[in-house]
């Protein structure tokens, strides 16, 4: 497999920093890693958002550290009509962002080889479950040439082809519409579309401030959207009934497996997403910071709005399970208000209690 010919992102980041003198900015590391993967034969490349998450984990664990931000020149700011940059400039929406440089601290740190496991262990979290091994079935011997039988596609196949053609025919990215259509199709037919929905999440997670130029930002968004569109062709539809051969052969049937209700698939995915906020809340309890708290509030409130949209687009018989998640998260905005007020007054006890109640909102 060609995957064995390339380094992992953590190991490459370590070797790259050591090769360039111990310091580089995020965009430079990411471009060098994409070049490394292309030379190794990779066709699918990681997104800028996922690589930014890796840098964040390495910095939190102390393997690397933020060293400096490159100053913005007057030439960089001319395109926004502000040739004079004020003292203490901080990038905002629509403004050119400086390059953020990181310096390697401990080349032997375990986080470079196993970033996710090391981060979860440092926060006292359980390791993620081991994925089930892929079952490789030996193909049967070729049968004699059968009589050609034209089988009409199922109704689910027709609906999926119509939806896929519709999305691939859009002249511009429409991530919100695509998310709504895929979630509705997943709920109605029980088809697993988590990979495609995660790619949409990566696309929406790209921010202008993470890139040094508008051209790179647009290029990253175009690559993320194209990857999502390409992955639509890889959806596997399960056939409920197979066409019987001309001369059927009776075989013993195994025990019947009850399929999970479609609403449960969407509910389980939303519950898993909500539990993902708990490690960030626990980190803020130990390290209070207004900026991180504001970012967490923005992410959680955006997720709550997504749950409310899911309630509206889910068929009526399946809304109860999704509505239960929405009701549980209803008090999150009030708890953030209490936490901000307590942090401003220096009351760490009330601040920690408010975050503990936020954890309860995220648990099923």
128 occurs within a structural domain: no
Q: Specify the pLDDT at position 87.
A: 56
130 occurs within a structural domain: no
| 105 in the same domain as 64 | yes
Q: With H, G, I as helix, E, B as strand and everything else as coil, classify residue 24.
A: strand
- Nearest of 302, 310, 271, 307 to residue 184 by alpha carbon: 310
| Residue owning tokens 């004699």 | 144
| 172 in the same domain as 230 | yes
| 118 in the same domain as 8 | yes
Q: Extract the runs of DSSP E, i.e. beta strands, from the chain.
A: 23-25, 64-69, 100-104
109 occurs within a structural domain: yes
* Tokens representing residue 301 in the block: 């409130």
Q: Specify the pLDDT at position 83.
A: 47
Residue ranges making up the domain that contains 346: 262-362
| 25 in the same domain as 114 | yes
Q: Specify the pLDDT at position 260.
A: 46
pTM: 0.34
* Domain count within the chain: 3
281 occurs within a structural domain: yes
| 194 in the same domain as 266 | no
What pLDDT tens digit does each residue of the chain (364 aa) get? 334 478 888 889 999 899 998 898 888 899 998 998 888 888 888 888 888 888 888 988 888 998 888 766 554 544 444 445 555 555 544 455 678 889 999 888 888 888 888 888 887 776 666 666 666 667 778 877 776 555 455 688 888 888 888 898 888 888 888 888 888 888 888 888 888 888 888 888 888 777 888 888 888 888 888 888 888 888 877 654 444 544 554 444 444 444 444 445 677 777 777 788 888 888 888 888 888 888 888 887 777 777 777 666 666 666 777 777 777 777 777 888 888 888 888 888 888 888 888 888 887 6
From 79, 105, 122, the end of a domain falls on 122
Q: Specify the pLDDT at position 289.
A: 83
| 165 in the same domain as 114 | no
Q: Specify the pLDDT at position 277.
A: 82
255 occurs within a structural domain: no
Distance between CA 69 and CA 271 in Å, rounded? 38
| 323 in the same domain as 267 | yes
Cα dihedral 18, 24, 28, 32, rounded to 10, equals 0
353 occurs within a structural domain: yes
Q: Specify the pLDDT at position 204.
A: 84
| 117 in the same domain as 6 | yes
| 307 in the same domain as 223 | no
239 occurs within a structural domain: no
What CATH number is given to the structural domain containing 37? 1.10.10.10
254 occurs within a structural domain: no
């Amino acid at each position: 497999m060609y995957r064995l010919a390339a380094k992992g992102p953590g190991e490459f980041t370590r070797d790259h920093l050591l090769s360039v003198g111990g310091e580089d900015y995020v965009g430079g590391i990411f471009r060098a890693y994409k070049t490394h993967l292309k030379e190794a034969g990779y066709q699918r490349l990681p997104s800028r958002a996922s690589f930014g998450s890796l840098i964040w984990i390495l910095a939190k664990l102390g393997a690397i550290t933020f060293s400096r931000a490159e100053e913005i020149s007057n030439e960089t700011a001319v395109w926004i009509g502000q040739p004079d940059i004020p003292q203490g400039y901080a990038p905002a929406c629509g403004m050119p962002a400086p390059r953020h440089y990181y310096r390697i601290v401990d080349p032997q740190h375990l986080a470079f080889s196993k970033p996710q496991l090391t981060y979860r262990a440092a926060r006292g979290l359980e390791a993620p479950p081991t994925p089930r091994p892929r079952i490789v079935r030996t193909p049967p011997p070729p049968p004699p040439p059968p009589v050609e039988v034209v089988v009409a596609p199922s109704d689910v196949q027709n609906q999926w082809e119509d939806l896929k053609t519709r999305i691939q025919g859009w002249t511009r990215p429409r991530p919100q519409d695509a998310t709504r259509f895929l979630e509705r199709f997943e709920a109605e037919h029980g088809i697993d579309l988590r990979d495609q929905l995660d790619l949409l999440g990566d696309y929406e997670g790209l921010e202008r401030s993470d890139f040094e130029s508008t051209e790179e930002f647009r290029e990253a968004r175009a690559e993320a959207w194209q990857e999502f569109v390409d992955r639509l062709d890889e959806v596997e539809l399960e056939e409920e009934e197979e066409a019987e051969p001309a001369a059927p052969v009776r075989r013993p049937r195994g025990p019947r497996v009850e399929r999970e209700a479609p609403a449960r698939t969407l509910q389980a995915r939303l519950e898993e997403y909500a539990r993902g906020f708990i490690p960030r809340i626990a980190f803020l309890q130990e390290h209070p910071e207004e900026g991180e708290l504001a970012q967490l509030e923005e992410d959680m409130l955006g997720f709550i709005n997504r749950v409310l949209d899911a309630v509206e687009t889910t068929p009526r018989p399946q809304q109860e399970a999704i509505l239960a998640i929405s009701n549980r998260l209803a008090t999150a905005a009030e708890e953030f208000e209490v936490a901000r007020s307590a942090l401003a007054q220096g009351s760490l006890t009330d601040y920690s209690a408010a975050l503990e109640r936020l954890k309860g909102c995220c648990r099923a």
